[in-house]
Amino acid sequence: MAHKKGVGSSQNGRESASKRLGIKIYGGQMAKAGNIIVRQRGTVHNPGQNVGIGKDHTIFAMVDGVVAFKKKASGRSYVSVISPQQEAVIIPQEQENAFVPQEQEAVFVLQEQAEVPVLQEQEEEVSN
């Protein structure tokens, strides 16, 4: 009768290395252009403003700025990077409203820099 030798080590060693998925830069933290924000399988988090998505669904920053995670009404999570040129103003919730759903506690309002009115004035001078 033929028998296998009872070593056992040749049957082990098939476990794959961990893929190190997850959020790498959290909301409110600074990200530089090119930094990986989320490594994921599928689109658990979707790309928002100033971020790109790789072929393996990795979300990365395209500009320097602050990372922001937001859930929309559809229930999907969106990741954005708010650059220093777009000043983020957080509007606090009113004291009168005791109950506000978590996703509506703070609203981000994007404002462009003060350069925009200057450009309009230059256009008026050119047309005159």
Flag whether pLDDT at 21 surpasses 60: yes
Name the pLDDT band for 54 (thresholds 50, 70, 90).
very high
Question: 3-state DSSP: the chain helix, strand, coil percent, rounded to 5?
Answer: 15, 30, 55
Phi and psi for 122 in degrees, rounded to 5? -65, -35
Give the per-residue pLDDT at 88: 45
Q: What is the pLDDT of residues 64-107, one digit of tens each?
A: 999 999 999 999 999 999 988 775 454 455 544 445 455 444 55
Give the type of residue at 110.
Answer: L
CA–CA distance, 69 with 103 (Å, rounded to integer): 10
Mean pLDDT lowest among 22-26, 63-67, 108-112: 108-112
Give the type of residue at 61.
Answer: A
Q: Can you tell me the mean pLDDT for 19-41?
A: 96
Q: What is the mean pLDDT of the chain?
A: 77
Residue (of 115, 52, 47) closest to 85 by Cα position = 115
Flag whether pLDDT at 45 surpasses 50: yes
Q: Which helix (H) or strand (E) holds 70?
A: strand 65-71
